[in-house]
Structure 1
Amino acid sequence: MLIVDARRSPVLRDGRWLLLALVAMLVVAIAYRLVPLTNWSTDSLYYLEFARLLSDDQLGDGFLGELEKRQLAVPAVHALAIQAGQGDVFRILGPLLAVSLVALVWWFVSVRLRDALGVRAHVVGLAAGFAVITFNRVVFHIFYVNSHLMFATLLLAVVCLLWARTAGFDAGASPRATIAVPAILAPTLIVARPEGALVALIVAVALVSVDRRRCSSFFPLAVAVSIIVWNSRLAWGALDDGITPSSSSVLMLALGVTVGAIVGFLHLLPRRLVAMAPWLLEAILWVALLVLAVREPEVLLRSVAATGANLVAGEGGWGLSGPFMLAIVAGALLVFRRSDDLVLRITITSFVPLSLLLAYFRDSAYRVGDGDSLNRMWMHVLALCIVLVVERVALGELRWTARRSESASTSAANGAR
């Protein structure tokens, strides 16, 4: 909420809403301190062990292999709690992130619908925000020591700010803030999850395809530099420890250098090629998945079967919320059309082939059960899905109506000739 410019926002001009947000966070913090609840797993213990080592300044190069799988952001936060004498775990991190996630959904939905709905937009935004925490898996992650909720909150803030920038609606932030804040958040987004760099690159490609202003290159440049710095550290640490750097760190380092070079020469590329870049990138992800599936079909088949069982059949703990969300997101994408939400839409739809591709770079395919990696990763785009559905239903144009209008316009133009 610190990105908000009160002078540009009638909602926050008198400070009451900001005060309400701060009070809500304080109430959540006090309540959770009184009744601490925490969910643990093997991954949780890795995060907390890294936090302890980081706090004691003993996180040496020998731990970089495991750190590459878990990343640095969550251990760093818990290390601060240890340094402050709050125990081995920062227990209120999850609840505070949940409050932030709800507040961000409310804010971006309400400002997007403000011109169309007026004051009612805040009611819709508040309902959308609280809809996020009606999903039982979200409630689980509020108390789960892991990185999924942090990544979801960061991704929502970055994508929605860039969406506001490209769609041209007033998010209560200055135009500079809509690019500066995502650029500042880019390093944390990348070191929050192993797939963070790839997701950030997809968002960056979508941004530059629709926004050719020179300052818009700050975000992809921040992504490229962050990838280079982090993976250089991983690779150098491995070499310093006398072992060969992992193939993933070397590939990501090469990808960061390539992206940085492309950003430098972005103004020289054909406009049509840049505009088509998100569609080409999404197509490349699907083609790569198809190629790997031809070579090793069992990995994809097992992963798809497990994902279906987890999301639809209830094996992943989603209950009815899994199939419900799949249905309304598919409906919003197929029935309604918007031409100014590419950054938002491409982040969601590209997540499907990307997540299935990652199955080929794991130890095994995805599995049935609520502890499966992909079953937990759906958290990353859940809030974005809710924002997309509300925006499409409230402001979108029915696809068949749009086609009839286009046909009528074409016929009228041909008749005039």
Structure 2
Amino acid sequence: MVVPPEFLKSLTKRLGVSEGELQVLLDTLEGEDLSAIAQRLGVQRNALQKRLGEVYKKFQIEGAGPGKFAKLQKIILEEYQKQINDLQKEAEKQTTDHLDWGDAPVVGTFCGRTMQLTTLENDLIKERCPLVGLLGMAGIGKSAIAVRLIESVADNYDYVIWRNLSLRGVPHLDNLLRDLMACFRHSQEIETNDNHPPLIADLIEEFRASRCLVILDNFESVFQANNLASYYQGGYENYGDLLKQVAQTRHQSSILLLSRETPLELITLAGDQLPTRFMTLNGLTVETVKEILAKKGINIADKNLLSRLTQDYSGHPIAINELVTTAQTLFDGNFDELLDSNPLFIGEILSRYFSEQFQRLSPLEKQVMTHLAASNSGLTLKEIQHNLSDINDLSYVMTALSSLNRRCLLQKQTNQKITRFTLIPTLKKYVSSQG
């Protein structure tokens, strides 16, 4: 290992080594003989030997003989290695300090979503959008793509903080702000006790002082259940104020929302020419489904079969994974046998996700979903109203459809300027099973 002269100068200065003694040390460490050094400098060899002896004393090396120089080299190398280790630990500590994964999931195999990742990176890094939404139905892969996104962009931020609102008992905004402020270096300077809870303005000040990225997962948890989508629970309305202030105030940070329901603030604040953006995540492509299956040892050569599989399950990653698991556990890995039986299979995990979303719907939304599930070709707005015999005002139906659309549950098909509404096949089957 070569020890840099700058380090050696710093080390010897701490030990009181003089300039003349340091020069002899540097020359001898370079491998030059004392006699050659003496001749080059025009001094007596004994004088140089005396200087080197002083170096030994200051490094607390006793004894006599050639072994003293070897001990000196060993001490210098050990000190240099110690400095390297300390610097590495400090760098690791700084990396750990600025990246708080919180409740982020562990993501294993990740395939596809290249275009979506590129768009999100552009929104956050190039466009520096203060508020970005990643939306989609339950289990579609929002958290997985967000984890990959953070791994890619984290070095651009002073702080990255991930919080899953549903896993934290749906904290009131004061508690969330207190949690976030505690993550920042300057949090000690801000009063955060119960009598003086942190304000949105305090967070904005931190967002100005440092470049931060805060991920709020399962944001839909702050909305009401059994009502139309995106209406805040009582006591949680100030989350809307948070979104508006973050989007409309000048700073250098961003909040990334992961949600099954589209906050109304995103709809009103977003636009291509505006600093707020949101993206709805749909199912995986045929190519990505093929890649996932291949990683699990399943290769489908028939393109039509692969296309049908992707279409039947709408490229939903949970549905695909549960289908593979079922083939492995019930059919000894014979995927073809499962497909030949041609059932539309809904596994326990996907069923639970659908149940969580279905139970949040308003009564009118559930009625609309039931009629959509019973139709093979989808329904127009007027056909839905016709099926809802007790609804005379078309605006009520439009409101319910808009709410379902904000929940990312609705599929739309437009032909000859006529829009028909439907559901993905697996969701249609789930709703039909609810009676």
TM range (shorter): under 0.3
Q: TM-score, normalised by structure 2?
A: 0.25
Higher RCO (CA < 8 A, seq sep 6+):
1
Higher helix share goes to which structure?
A: 1
Which structure's CA Rg is the greater one? 2
State the TM-score, normalized to the length of structure 1: 0.26
